């Protein structure tokens, strides 16, 4: 795909009349890939992806991360099985409307408690994905040949979760630039509920299992475009008392 800044990009990105440079192209053309070929990526390529993550900026240069590369098909299959089990358990409690009166009476208060305790995890999109996973209609790890777990060191400065996001984004962009596909798998959090996975994957204090990324060679049947919202951006260019100027970004 050849993007030029003077035409509307597939993401509806604002155009500036200059050709997109190679970095911008990688950013704009990357998509989450949820269908992978079974063969693994070469180790050298995985190391280059990790290197892009290692060089990410972080608050106070604390680099609050530790990487775990999971290539073993047996381990990935076991992670998938256990994540699906927890998704089913969650859905048993959360999807209380499906059950009879007795189940509803027991599970509804628990579901409300979960939603209070985990408002971000149980937001509509992850909730729908969780429901599909519990019904066996979607995989958690997308049958990827490589999972990179980015453990978050909770001793990081300020907000280590942001550093993890920056680090992972460097990795997915590096992967895309080399022709590999990737998909963030926030649902690796499902494995937190198993002491054995926390132990095996090294997710013990100070490390926290928050995010992972699936990597592999994309299949041609990869997902299509996901739309981006037009942003109304506030520009402040005059004095402190001058009103801002609003501009539509994208679309």
Ligand X SMILES: Cc1cc2nc3c(=O)[nH]c(=O)nc-3n(C[C@H](O)[C@H](O)[C@H](O)COP(=O)(O)O)c2cc1C
- SS3 assignment, position 191: helix
Sole binder of ligand X in the list 67, 92, 93, 184 (CB under 6 A): 184
- Residue 234, number of CB atoms within 10 A of its CB: 10
Is position 31 an interface residue for ligand X (rule: CB under 6 A)? yes
Closest to ligand X by CB, 14 vs 184, is 184
Q: What are phi and psi of 46, to 5 degrees?
A: -60, -40
Sheet strands (E) in the chain: 65-70, 146-153, 181-184, 207-216, 231-235, 245-249
Span from 59-67, 105-113, 178-186, 238-246 in contact with ligand X (CB under 6 A)? 178-186
CA distances 40 to 77, 100, 125, Å, are: 15, 46, 29
CB of 129 to ligand X, least distance (A): 6
Counting residues that bind ligand X (by CB under 6 A) gives 10
- Residues 6 or more apart whose Cβ sits within 8 Å of residue 72: none
- Whose CB is nearest to ligand X? 186
User: Rounded to the nearest whole angstrom, what is the least distance from the CB of residue 137 to ligand X in the complex?
Assistant: 13
190 near ligand X, rule: CB under 6 A: no
Single residue of 111, 183, 201, 203 touching ligand X by CB under 6 A: 183
Residue 208 binding ligand X, by CB under 6 A: no
Distance CA 42, CA 108 (A): 48
Q: Which residues make up the interface to ligand X (CB under 6 A)? A: 31-32, 34, 183-187, 211, 226
């Amino acid at each position: 795909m050849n993007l030029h800044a003077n035409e509307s990009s597939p993401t509806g990105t604002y155009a500036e009349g200059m050709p997109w440079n190679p970095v911008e192209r990688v950013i704009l053309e990357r998509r989450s890939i949820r269908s992978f070929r079974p063969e693994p990526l070469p180790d050298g390529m995985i190391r280059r992806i990790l290197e892009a993550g290692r060089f990410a900026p972080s608050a106070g240069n604390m680099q609050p991360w530790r990487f775990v590369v999971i290539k073993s098909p047996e381990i990935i299959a076991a992670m998938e099985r256990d994540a699906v089990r927890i998704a089913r358990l969650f859905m048993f409690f959360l999807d209380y409307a499906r059950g009879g009166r007795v189940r509803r009476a027991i599970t509804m208060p628990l579901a409300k408690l979960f939603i209070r305790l985990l408002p971000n995890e149980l937001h509509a999109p992850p909730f729908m994905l969780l429901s599909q996973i519990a019904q066996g209609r979607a995989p958690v790890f997308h049958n990827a040949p490589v999972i990179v777990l980015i453990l978050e060191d909770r001793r990081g400065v300020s907000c280590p979760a942001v550093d993890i996001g920056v680090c992972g984004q460097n990795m997915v962009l590096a992967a895309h630039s080399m022709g590999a596909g990737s998909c963030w798998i926030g649902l690796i959090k499902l494995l937190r509920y198993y002491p054995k996975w926390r132990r095996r994957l090294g997710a013990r204090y100070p490390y926290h299992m928050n995010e992972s990324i699936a990597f592999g060679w994309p299949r041609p049947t990869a997902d299509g475009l996901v739309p981006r919202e037009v942003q109304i951006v506030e520009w402040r260019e005059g004095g402190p008392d001058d009103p801002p100027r609003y501009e539509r970004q994208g679309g």
